[in-house]
Structure 1
Amino acid sequence: MHSNFKVGSQILEIPSSKSQRRFALLLALLIVLISVAAIPFGMKTLPAFGPFLPIFISWFIFGDLLTAFILFNQFRASGVPSLLVMSCTYLFTGLITVLHILSFPGVFSEEGMLGADNQTAAWLWIYWHGGFPAGILLYLYVGKRFPKPFSSKNEISVYAALSLVLTFMVVFLLFKLSTSWSHFFPVLVESEGYWNVLVSGAGPAVGVINLIALLIVAVRFRARGVLHLWISIALLALLFDILLTLFAGNRYSLGWYLARINSVIAATVVLCSVVNEVNRLFIRLSDQHKQLLESGKQLERANEELVRLSSLDGLTEIPNRRRLNEIMSWELVAPEERQTPLSLLILDVDSFKAYNDYYGHLGGDQVLKTIAKTISAEVKPFFGFAARYGGEEFAVLLTGLDARGTYDVAEGIRLAVENLRIPHAGSSATREVTVSIGGFCVPPFHKINEDGFISLADKCLYEAKNGGRNRCVVKGWTREHQQPELRLEPADR
């Protein structure tokens, strides 16, 4: 299921841009230069700002837990095991930080809450600053050892639940080590300050773990990906947080303040990078959605135009035979429901081959266009449907008219074409372009198929052509006589 799935794991695969690498390098230089310059003055006492620690810790907790949440959702979408480890690493630091601030002396109570003693907060600080790089190292190992995503949703759910339970258990165990069992461990904080963190070896050990994790991430990935670029910056900031804390001496010293600032940087750079990439992804998706909607509209317009063009004759721009057959099928499909008569006229341009031979195909095309426009205009008042039937032939469908009314419409068309006075020097019968028209009218509720209907109208056209051309022959049903057939012709001219 997930073996070729890339979308959910894209946070691991997004390449870093040059501008991101420049900004990261600038931030790294500032962290190093400011921290190194401050080390000789780290013990200098600054004015105490009581709310600073709760504010800093709150932001730290927020950043870590939100990062854990985002990475956890990335894992659920992709099934990549290393993302689960990274998510649990941030969850671990967030939970440890919560316990750290609750047990810190002088913040919520004089001695600290949750049964803490004067060493609890210090040891939780050690676990916090050592746990994060340890989690990064585990993340690197899992990413290399298990690069393939989990194969099913069930596996994802099981491993997610186990990892979360394990993370909470580790946090609980470390908290117990810092409270109930703290007497088994060295004293880290005394009245004179934090020097025991340095001399006990706990602080340097945490610093070494951070340095190892930083070097491995930097060498292995070389800042090529966005996530690993900012993990490197987070580890660097945490490394100098440790270094400044070791030389800070006491709370509210210059080193102590700068160490807390580095902690904030470590907690937020990865979050900011992830949120930035998610925002960029949202913008791209929004743009693509707009493009998709516009493409959909263009496709809809194109389809409408395609349907229109497929239903129109390319030369005369009136409906073609395909569209005529569709309309006729609709009209004839349920004769028991058709309460009005239906008439079909078929029109043929007289001696059109001779016109083409004399005036050329361009001249013939122009005549067909003119006649098509004339037919459409003549049948429009009767709500008739005009189409090009093929070659020099046209067809008209009429409803609500009997054979006599149909004949009147046909005669109107014939006269309108005749009155165009289009010269026809190639004709031996007439010196102007004319049309012959045959038509047939079926009564209401009459059952007939398309071929039969066309055949009846075509026979009437054949009679009109044999009768001398430039005339109309219409047969079929009439209201007055209720006869099945009627022949109507103009008087000889």
Structure 2
Amino acid sequence: LLFAQFSILRQWALLAIASGYLFNALIVVAHALTFPGAFTPTGILGSGLQSAVWLYWSWHSGLPLAIIAYALLKDTDRTADVRFTGYAISLSIAGVLALVLGLFWFVTQHEDLLPITFVDVLPLSLFRRVIGGVVVLSLGGIALWLLWQRQHSLLDQWLVVALCALLLEVALASVLSAGRFNLAWYAGRFYQLVTATVVMVVLLAEMTRLYAGLARSNAMLQQERKSLQ
């Protein structure tokens, strides 16, 4: 939906946020493949206990970075040339795919180079567990501040909601959640769902409203033509 909006409006900000959501969608798959206990005790393709957690922090850094780019680009007058919007979308998709594959390759094939954060599927220490959370919360805070200062459209407002949900999830995961299947763990899963779906639902609702208005206008136009005949 966001790539389609970029192809029509040709605003670079839309390409940035579309790429951010595509990055999230792809890296979720990589995270699931390396998650300890999902397919193998430590994850597939040589991944270890550190692979999934670093993919998790990469995943949760992607959307704040994309929103920062979106907020900085959304008020500029520069637009993409209509002849090259298709190429821009293709290059964006290819670049995001290459980035995710590169991250997946690094955390699985060079897991020994990653800082040790988890031992036996449990956080090594509170300090190391919150390092990633502090980084993501800082990026999210910057993104929220920039977007809050520049919000003008319905998409801006719901991106704020999605970003707040992401920040709440990260805060629960890095500070409050001491294990799985407790209240904080389930709350984090709920906020993940909100982050992933709220913008899509709003875009679909807006498109449905616009199409309904267009259909009503066409019906009224046809009635006027019949009455004139």
In structure 1, distance between residues paired with 2:27 and 2:68: 18
TM-score, scaled to structure 1: 0.44
Partner of 2:19: 88
Matched position secondary structure for 1:138: helix
The structure richer in strand per residue is 1
For residue 147 of structure 2, the aligned residue among 201, 207, 217 is 217
Q: Is the 8 A contact 1:189 1:197 kept in 2?
A: no
Is 1:110 paired with 2:38?
Answer: no
Q: Is the 8 A contact 1:195 1:249 kept in 2?
A: no
In structure 2, distance between residues paired with 1:292 and 1:255: 55
Partner of 2:190: 261
User: Kindly tell me: are residues 84 and 161 of structure 1, through their superposed partners in 2, closer, same or farther at Cα, counting changes over 3 Å?
Assistant: same
Partner of 1:235: 163
Q: Is the 8 A contact 1:133 1:235 kept in 2?
A: yes
Q: Is the 8 A contact 1:93 1:132 kept in 2?
A: yes
Q: Is the 8 A contact 2:50 2:114 kept in 1?
A: no
Aligned pairs for 1:117-136 within 5 A: 117-136=48-67
Structure of greater Rg: 1
Matched position secondary structure for 1:165: helix
Partner of 1:272: 201
User: How far off is 1:82 after superposition?
Assistant: 1.4
In structure 2, distance between residues paired with 1:213 and 1:129: 13
Matched residues, number: 227
Q: Is the 8 A contact 1:123 1:188 kept in 2?
A: no
1:151 alignment partner AA:
D
Partner of 2:154: 226
Aligned pairs for 1:385-404 within 5 A: none
Partner of 2:212: 283
1:272 alignment partner AA:
V
User: How far off is 1:116 after superposition?
Assistant: 1.8
For residue 132 of structure 2, the aligned residue among 181, 184, 202 is 202
Q: Is the 8 A contact 1:194 1:248 kept in 2?
A: no
Q: Is the 8 A contact 1:105 1:111 kept in 2?
A: yes
In structure 2, distance between residues paired with 1:209 and 1:237: 14
The structure richer in helix per residue is 2
Is 1:251 paired with 2:149?
Answer: no
User: How far off is 1:261 after superposition?
Assistant: 0.9
User: Kindly tell me: are residues 112 and 152 of structure 1, through their superposed partners in 2, closer, same or farther at Cα, counting changes over 3 Å?
Assistant: same
Aligned pairs for 1:366-405 within 5 A: none
Partner of 1:167: 96
5+ residue gaps, structure 2:
none
RMSD: 1.8
User: How far off is 1:198 after superposition?
Assistant: 4.5
User: How far off is 1:97 after superposition?
Assistant: 0.3
Q: Is the 8 A contact 2:169 2:191 kept in 1?
A: yes
User: Kindly tell me: are residues 161 and 214 of structure 1, through their superposed partners in 2, closer, same or farther at Cα, counting changes over 3 Å?
Assistant: same
In structure 1, distance between residues paired with 2:127 and 2:70: 28
Partner of 1:152: 82
5+ residue gaps, structure 1:
1-69, 302-493
In structure 1, distance between residues paired with 2:227 and 2:59: 57
User: Kindly tell me: are residues 275 and 75 of structure 1, through their superposed partners in 2, closer, same or farther at Cα, counting changes over 3 Å?
Assistant: same
Partner of 1:298: 227
User: How far off is 1:199 after superposition?
Assistant: 2.8
User: How far off is 1:98 after superposition?
Assistant: 0.8
Q: Percent identity?
A: 30
Q: Is the 8 A contact 2:34 2:51 kept in 1?
A: yes
User: Kindly tell me: are residues 192 and 75 of structure 1, through their superposed partners in 2, closer, same or farther at Cα, counting changes over 3 Å?
Assistant: closer
Q: Is the 8 A contact 1:92 1:171 kept in 2?
A: yes
Q: Is the 8 A contact 1:187 1:196 kept in 2?
A: no
In structure 1, distance between residues paired with 2:72 and 2:195: 21
Matched position secondary structure for 2:100: helix
Q: Is the 8 A contact 1:214 1:232 kept in 2?
A: yes
Matched position secondary structure for 1:252: coil
In structure 1, distance between residues paired with 2:191 and 2:15: 25
